[in-house]
């Protein structure tokens, strides 16, 4: 059993927790993930490591409440326990030789992007961060990105905070003005990453994408995170959880990945609603 040390609401649908898991905290690197189960009968879900405190043996996770398991996890409070917490898994983000990097994060993907930005900052690289959200209410981790970025831009789709637009707009402006990056690393919704790659391609800048959004069980056995890479004119099948989660953005078939990602949407939504109804009934019975 693993104790929840802290719990914090980042916005109405995103929660941050610190879990006491010393062995994971001692080894986890930016870009890696863990697999957890809320209770003995719960499903396994992968969540990216959002930070570690080795002294306290704490591993930070940030999750969006979108399905039944994340809804159950969000019902847990500080001092309570979750059943399993396994990791670190996956390959860490490559940092060697990168002196100037642009981190592009979207929505809850910023939780994955932050430890990557912090690692590059710690290594002495020049870090530019571009983070985007649908609106002001969904903004997360702004101060944390400011602390590890030499330059930072925030955008919102509706203009309710900072600059109106999407993340590709400031990225394109920077590249058009002659800004040079050794690497662009983007983490967020698949459609966002697709257009970041298309933007970078116009300027021949390398792009790493994190395919965390398509992972399901974190072992490769379910096949849900299967993706197609186009390598030297050949189609190659990889698994985000086993072979990634980071990949060369120019090689990823985003259209296929997005199509597969919509397969279980209705099922997940139904499971989430059933779980929420159970919580409501339980709360009603306790009154």
Q: Above 60 in pLDDT, residue 114?
A: yes
Q: Above 80 in pLDDT, residue 20?
A: yes
23-27, 115-119, 258-262: which range is least confident on average? 258-262
For residue 220, say if its preceding peptide bond is cis, omega within 30 degrees of 0: no
Q: What's the confidence (pLDDT) of residue 212? A: 78
Give the separation between CA 68 and CA 71, rounded to whole angstroms: 5
Average pLDDT for 243-253: 90
Q: Above 50 in pLDDT, residue 278?
A: no
3-state secondary structure of 39: coil
Q: Above 60 in pLDDT, residue 266?
A: no
3-state secondary structure of 20: strand
Q: What Å distances lie between residue 277 and 11, 84, 104, 169, 282, CA to CA?
A: 22, 25, 36, 41, 9
10-19, 47-56, 208-217: which range is least confident on average? 208-217
Least Cα distance to 59 among 25, 88, 27, 28 occurs for: 25
41-45, 121-125, 156-160, 266-270: which range is least confident on average? 266-270
Which segments of the chain belong to CATH 3.40.50.80?
94-210
Residues 152/146, Cβ–Cβ less than 8 Å: yes
220 — pLDDT class (breaks 50, 70, 90): low
Phi, psi (degrees; rounded to nearest 5) at 70: -70, -30
Give the separation between CA 136 and CA 149, rounded to whole angstroms: 20
Q: What's the confidence (pLDDT) of residue 217? A: 61
Q: What Å distances lie between residue 249 and 124, 209, 228, CA to CA?
A: 24, 5, 11
Least Cα distance to 65 among 281, 282, 275, 285 occurs for: 275
88 — pLDDT class (breaks 50, 70, 90): very high
38-52, 93-107, 110-124: which range is least confident on average? 38-52
Query: What does CATH list as the number for 94-210?
Result: 3.40.50.80
Q: What Å distances lie between residue 84 and 56, 95, 221, CA to CA?
A: 19, 30, 19
Which segments of the chain belong to CATH 2.40.30.10?
2-89
Residue 20 sits at the vertex; the CA angle it makes with 103 and 60, to the nearest 5 degrees, is 15
Residue 134 sits at the vertex; the CA angle it makes with 129 and 138, to the nearest 5 degrees, is 80
Q: Above 90 in pLDDT, residue 52?
A: yes
Q: What is the mean pLDDT of the chain?
A: 88
Q: What's the confidence (pLDDT) of residue 260? A: 67
Average pLDDT for 84-99: 93
The class of domain 2-89 in CATH terms is mainly beta
Least Cα distance to 193 among 262, 135, 141, 250 occurs for: 250
Give the separation between CA 82 and CA 41, rounded to whole angstroms: 11
244 — pLDDT class (breaks 50, 70, 90): confident
Give the separation between CA 85 and CA 88, rounded to whole angstroms: 9
pTM: 0.85
Residues 8/16, Cβ–Cβ less than 8 Å: yes
């Amino acid at each position: 059993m693993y104790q929840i040390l802290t719990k914090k609401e980042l916005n109405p649908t995103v929660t941050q927790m610190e879990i006491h898991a010393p062995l994971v905290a001692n080894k986890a690197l930016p870009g890696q993930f863990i697999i957890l189960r809320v209770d003995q009968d719960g499903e396994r879900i992968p969540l990216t490591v959002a930070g570690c405190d080795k002294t306290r043996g704490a591993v930070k996770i940030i999750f969006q409440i979108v399905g039944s398991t994340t809804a159950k996890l969000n019902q847990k409070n500080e001092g309570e326990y979750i059943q399993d917490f396994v990791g670190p898994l996956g390959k860490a983000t490559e940092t060697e030789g990168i002196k100037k990097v642009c981190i592009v994060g979207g929505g809850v993907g910023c939780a994955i992007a932050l430890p990557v930005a912090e690692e590059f900052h710690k290594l002495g690289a020049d870090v530019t961060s571009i983070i985007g959200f649908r609106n002001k209410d969904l903004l997360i981790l702004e101060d944390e990105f400011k602390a590890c970025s030499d330059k930072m831009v925030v955008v919102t789709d509706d203009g309710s905070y900072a600059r109106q637009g999407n993340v590709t707009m400031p990225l394109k402006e920077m590249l058009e003005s002659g800004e040079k990056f050794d690497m662009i690393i983007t983490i967020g919704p698949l459609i966002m990453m697709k257009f970041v790659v298309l933007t970078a391609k116009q300027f021949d800048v390398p792009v790493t994408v994190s395919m965390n959004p398509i992972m399901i069980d974190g072992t490769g056995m379910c096949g849900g995170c299967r993706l197609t890479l186009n390598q030297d004119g050949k189609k190659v099948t990889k698994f985000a959880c086993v072979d990634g989660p980071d990949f060369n953005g120019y090689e990823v078939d985003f259209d296929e990945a997005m199509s597969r990602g919509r397969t279980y949407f209705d099922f997940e939504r139904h499971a989430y609603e059933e779980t929420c109804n159970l919580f409501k009934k339980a709360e009603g019975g306790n009154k």
